[in-house]
């Protein structure tokens, strides 16, 4: 994908996740999600924290060590929706800065091109949009363009992800499964 496509897909994924965040009812924040260790609050907090990292890593050139836990713990406070909105806007702005996607970022597993980091963040937002949708009873269907982009991103290293302990073991998709089902099964979800 070209840079405009990468940015557009990333923005679309964050917007979609944000729509689900705005749909969370007050009584749903402690509801379980397909991420077995996380409630809805924990899931939204995770994605919010990830977005907060983007300006520091992409714009400022920070390293994981220099940020040193700044985004650990509760990033949502008393206004989870507002916290998400602010973090998402900051991430979009940082990736959209001139030449931002041509930079390198320093991640936990090494130095990575910023455009690759952006596509990883997009895939994560897409999968977690499904998680959040399931948790709050929202429409679990996702746009084909986003699902295709996430699947293309994740397929080459899905086996490595399973070994990190951050994802459940892959699930065998049913014969003839669509791309969303294949993506979810690859990341240990049971659609």
Q: What is the pLDDT of residue 65?
A: 83
Q: Which helix (H) or strand (E) holds 79?
A: none
- Confidence class for position 67, pLDDT limits 50, 70, 90: confident
CA distance 48 to 36: 18
* Across 31-35, 75-79, 82-86, 170-174, least confident range: 170-174
Give the model's pLDDT for residue 165.
Answer: 65
Cβ atoms within 10 Å of 139's Cβ, excluding its own = 9
State the DSSP H helix or E strand holding residue 8, giving kind and residue range, or none if neither. Answer: helix 3-23
Quick one: the chain helix, strand, coil %, rounded to 5? 65, 5, 30
- At residue 105, φ and ψ (nearest 5 deg) are -120, 150
Mean pLDDT of 74-100: 97
Percent of the chain with pLDDT over 90: 80
Exposure of 80 in the CB half-sphere (CA atoms within 13 A): 21
Q: How far apart are CA 191 and CA 188, in angstroms?
A: 9
Tens digit of each residue's pLDDT (9 = 90 or more) over 109-119: 889 999 999 99
Nearest to 168 by CA among 152, 190, 151, 146: 190
């Amino acid at each position: 994908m070209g840079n405009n496509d990468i940015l557009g897909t990333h923005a679309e994924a964050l917007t979609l996740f944000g729509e689900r965040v705005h749909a969370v009812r007050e009584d749903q924040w402690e509801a379980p999600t397909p991420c077995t260790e996380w409630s809805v609050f924990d899931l939204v907090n995770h994605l919010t924290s990830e977005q907060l990292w983007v300006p520091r890593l992409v714009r400022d050139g920070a390293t994981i060590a220099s940020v040193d836990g700044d985004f650990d713990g509760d990033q949502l406070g008393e206004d989870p929706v507002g916290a998400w909105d602010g973090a998402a806007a900051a991430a979009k702005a940082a990736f959209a800065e001139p030449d931002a996607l041509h930079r390198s970022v320093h991640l936990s597993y090494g130095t990575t091109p910023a455009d690759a980091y952006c596509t990883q963040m997009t895939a994560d937002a897409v999968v977690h949009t499904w998680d959040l949708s399931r948790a709050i009873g929202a429409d679990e269907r996702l746009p084909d363009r986003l699902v295709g982009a996430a699947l293309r991103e994740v397929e080459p290293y899905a086996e490595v992800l399973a070994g990190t302990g951050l994802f459940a073991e892959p699930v065998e998709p049913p014969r003839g499964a669509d791309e969303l089902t294949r993506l979810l099964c690859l990341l240990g979800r049971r659609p």
